[in-house]
Amino acid sequence: MLDAQPAPLVQVQDLKMHFPIYSGLFRRHTGDVKAVDGVSFDILAGQTLGLVGESGCGKSTVGRAMLRLYEPTAGRVVIDGDDVATLSPEALRKKRPTMQMVFQDPQASLNPRMTLADIVSEPLDEHTNWTRDQKLERVYDLMDQVGLNRRFVNRFPHEFSGGQRQRIGIARALALKPRFIVCDEPIAALDVSIQAQVVNLLEDLQEKLGLTYLFISHDLSMVRHLAQRVAVMYLGRIAELSPSKDLYARPLHPYAEALLSAVNEPDPVLAAQRKRIILKGDVPSPANPPRGCNFCTRCPRVMDICQTVKPDLVEVEPGRLVACHLYTAAGSTGTSEASEHKKHERIQQGETR
Amino acid sequence: MAEPAASVLDVRDLKTVFRTRGGEVHAVNDVSFHLKPGELLGVVGESGSGKSVTMMSLLRLLPSPPADIRGGKALLNGRDLLTMTDDELRSVRGAKVGFVFQDPMTSLNPVFTLGDQIMEPLIKHMRLSRRQAEARAIELLELVGIPGASQRLHQYPHQFSGGMRQRVMIAIALACDPDVLIADEPTTALDVTIQAQILELVKELRRKLGMAIIWITHDLGVIAGIADRVMVMYGGQVVEHAPVHELFANPQHPYTRALLQTIPRITGPRTTRLKVIEGQPPILTGPLTACPFRARCEHRFDACDAMNPPRRAIDAAPTGQGHDVACHWHAPAKAEPADA
């Protein structure tokens, strides 16, 4: 990793987010929903990492835990030099302007009683001591950037269409000039013809402002379009983390392969030729994940070792990390010292602790 | 139009209006289509394009008021659904025409067991005894691929996953061996791998049972994989209609062409910039006097403002049979593939 690539802006190491389950008469702590169970990745400055997976795999939880919207159970989240996971409340507040979020449902994430101006300037109220005029000037500036007509400044969210509402959400996220934005399914609630408008806007802003994105989505074709690297999640863990072009050309992890084969291409000739891998059954519950590999209950290429030993995420080809026993050398016993060491070395990318 | 004998369903000039406080909303504007036995017709459009309202109008599932079916015919095996008495219609819904709705989470009743819900149409429409109905229900659950059917019958919807619930919905829709199955975005709420399971199931059921299907979706990818013919809707009307291969290989309407280009692919060269359809879908507050797509269309000219274009045939087949389009603009011949 000593080539001319930019340095990582975001480094996530072994992030865990467990939600406790309380049950019985005395509400005793009887277990955990392991929504995120040891996730590591990094995002290079100015790039986009796509985080894909099916509903319930923990991809949104990763995004939320990274910004400390949840208190992570364990792990480090280094954003621009600070470990967000352990910052004190006051330091975290100061840190917030550098990291922002665009939410999935623009209907639900905008307060219906606030005008566009109120919504977009709220972060400014909180983090600056600007005058009203300065703030309004910034709001206008942001509206220009996201393509909203300045005349709409005093309108309420219900007066906007879905695509326009998502633009408001983006303007709000940009208000404090962040460096890193988590986009949590920002286009899932929009119509196809509107999706492209929002995606192009996100790309323009990235180029102009040098933003770094974590793009969380279940739309694999849109992620291919947007992201330089893609992490495929399954049941709280990363199955594969590869450069986008390699992943889509030749997925290595059996789950990534099945996921990609399930995508419907808008081309009837191709659709007739393609061989789909139809996975049997459903995703197991994250409160009671299978022993060994998370995917062993549905994997078409399952082996004996998969049911007992959890595979580590290791680099199997240059730049490609896969958590699968198919790719680890024969006789490997999973969590060996060597592979653990290698994993961290790769993820930290020369960072000194 | 097809002679009635050839089509199991023949809809002509259907028109539905919603009366609201803000005025009338013309949701369905002179929609015509037909469905042959055993055929799968895909209906594509964005939200608000009228695709669901069209199908719900056929079975008069929309509350009236506000909905008002202003005109048209919907012949099911030669009998007009729109002029039937309520009693007659009741014998059609669920028996001759099955309906699968988008959201499997909300379309099953949480306080009844699945057995009760699958057996209901069997007892009501087919006049089976409880015991016969139960045997048939188990058969149906096995048909849609639910293991352990006889135990599952006594469980409640919350004990099933999304994909399983959608399988149950399909089982209910198939219970009375319908001639037509209308599936309204049946896989939209599901994850891709589960969606792939359901699509495989529907293909298999079609081979086994041979009913005609109307499949409503906004996802051109899904349509490409399963449909025989496709009808593209915009602004409450049919803007393009063609056999599936023809539509994807040779799209004619500027909306269809643009839509196909806004979607990034997972194979082939990576797109550098997505094509955008600027603007918003129309608000249908009056009868259409001009093309509903004109404000977003890159080929707009005088005629588009003067008159709403009727459907015209592209190939030799009569309108509604082969490839037809509702557009004043003539797309250039197929030399450059789908590049406007």
Please state, rounded to an integer, the average pLDDT across all residues of chain B.
Answer: 86
Cα–Cα distances in angstroms (integers) from residue A92 to residues A62, A82, A109, A129, B229, in the given order: 18, 9, 22, 18, 56
SS3 category, A150: helix
A329 or B316, higher pLDDT: B316
Checking ipTM against 0.85, whether it exceeds it is no
Work out the minimum CA distance from A102 to partner chain B, whole angstroms: 20
Where do the structural domains in chain B lie, given as residue ranges? 98-175
Please check the confidence at residue B51 and state whether its pLDDT lies above 80. yes
pLDDT at B1: 46
Instruction: Report residue A346's pLDDT band, with 50, 70 and 90 as the boundaries.
Output: very low
- Residues B15-34 have a mean pLDDT of 89
Nearest to A225 among B199, B248, B270 (CB): B270
pLDDT at A113: 94
Written out in words, the top-level CATH class of the domain with range A8-249 is alpha beta
Nearest to B245 among A225, A244, A268 (CB): A268
Whether B267 sits inside 8 A of A163 (CB atoms) is no
Please check the confidence at residue A330 and state whether its pLDDT lies above 70. no
**Cα–Cα distance for residue pair A98/A222, rounded to 1 Å:** 25
Residue type, A94: K
Kindly provide the b/e burial profile for residues B187-200, where b requires at least 16 CB atoms within 10 angstroms of the residue's own CB.
bebbbbbbbbbbbe
Q: Which tokens is B257 given?
A: 């062409």
Tokens 């996730």 correspond to A39
Q: Which residues of B touch A193 (CB under 8 A)?
A: 46, 258-259, 262, 276-277, 281, 296
**Cα–Cα distance for residue pair A295/A324, rounded to 1 Å:** 9
pLDDT at A286: 83
SS3 category, A181: strand
Q: How many CB atoms lie within 10 A of CB A351?
A: 14
SS3 category, B183: strand
Please check the confidence at residue A311 and state whether its pLDDT lies above 60. yes
State how far Cα B213 lies from the chain centre.
8
* Per-residue pLDDT tens over the stretch B233-247: 999 999 999 999 999
Q: How many CB atoms lie within 10 A of CB A250?
A: 13
Entry field: residues in chain A? 353
Q: Edge-to-edge strands of the sheet including A82-83?
A: A28-44, A8-23, A74-79, A82-83
Reduced 3-state DSSP string for A277-307: CCCCCCCCCCCCCCCCCCCCCCCCCCCCHHH
Residue to substitute from A191, A222, A244, A285, interface B, most B β-carbons within 10 A:
A191
Please check the confidence at residue A285 and state whether its pLDDT lies above 90. no
Nearest to B46 among A192, A225, A264 (CB): A192
State how far Cα B260 lies from the chain centre.
19
Beta carbons of B288 and B307 less than 8 angstroms apart = no
Q: Which residues of B touch A191 (CB under 8 A)?
A: 46-47, 218, 281
Q: Angle at the Cα of A11 (from A8 to A15), degrees rounded to 5?
A: 165
* Per-residue pLDDT tens over the stretch B320-337: 788 999 999 988 876 544
For A220, the closest chain B residue by CA position comes to B266
Residue to substitute from B187, B192, B228, interface A, most A β-carbons within 10 A:
B192
DSSP B252: -
A237 or A24, higher pLDDT: A237
**Cα–Cα distance for residue pair B142/B120, rounded to 1 Å:** 18
State how far Cα A303 lies from the chain centre.
30
Question: For residue A317, what are the β-bridge partners?
Answer: A320
